[in-house]
Chains A and B, each alone.
Chain A
Amino acid sequence: EAGVVQSPRYKIIEKKQPVAFWCNPISGHNTLYWYLQNLGQGPELLIRYENEEAVDDSQLPKDRFSAERLKGVDSTLKIQPAELGDSAVYLCASSLGRGFLEQFFGPGTRLTVL
Chain B
Amino acid sequence: GQQLNQSPQSMFIQEGEDVSMNCTSSSIFNTWLWYKQDPGEGPVLLIALYKAGELTSNGRLTAQFGITRKDSFLNISASIPSDVGIYFCAGRLTGSNYKLTFGKGTLLTVNP
B88 close to A (CB within 8 Å): yes
Chain A: how many interface residues by the 8 Å CB criterion?
A: 22
Note all chain B residues with C-beta closer than 8 A to A43: 43, 88, 102
Residues facing B in A65-88 (CB within 8 A) are none
Q: A45-B99, A48-B99 are in contact. Are A101 and B92 (CB under 8 A)?
A: yes
A98 close to B (CB within 8 Å): yes
Return the contact of A103 from the options B4, B40, B41, B45 (Cβ within 8 A). B45
B33 close to A (CB within 8 Å): yes
Return the contact of A105 from the options B40, B43, B99 (Cβ within 8 A). B43
Nearest Cβ distance between residue B103 and chain A, in whole angstroms? Answer: 5
Please name the residue on chain B nearest to A43 by beta carbon. B102
Chain B: how many interface residues by the 8 Å CB criterion?
A: 22
Encode contact with B along A102-114: 1 for CB under 8 Å, 0 otherwise: 1111111010000
Q: How many A-B contacts at CB < 8 Å in the complex?
A: 52
Asked if A4 and B42 make an inter-chain contact with CB atoms under 8 angstroms apart, the answer reads yes
B66 close to A (CB within 8 Å): no
Residues facing A in B8-64 (CB within 8 A) are 31, 33, 35, 40-45, 48
Interface-centre pick from A99, A101, A103, A110 (highest chain B CB count, 10 A): A101
Encode contact with A along B49-85: 1 for CB under 8 Å, 0 otherwise: 0000000000000000000000000000000000000
Asked if B103 and A42 make an inter-chain contact with CB atoms under 8 angstroms apart, the answer reads yes
Note all chain B residues with C-beta closer than 8 A to A106: 42
Residues facing B in A38-76 (CB within 8 A) are 40-45, 48, 56
Task: Give the distance in Å from the alpha carbon of A104 to the alpha carbon of B40 in the complex.
Answer: 16
A binding-site residues for B, Cβ under 8 Å: 4, 40-45, 48, 56, 91, 93, 98-99, 101-108, 110
B binding-site residues for A, Cβ under 8 Å: 4, 31, 33, 35, 40-45, 48, 88, 90, 92, 97-100, 102-105
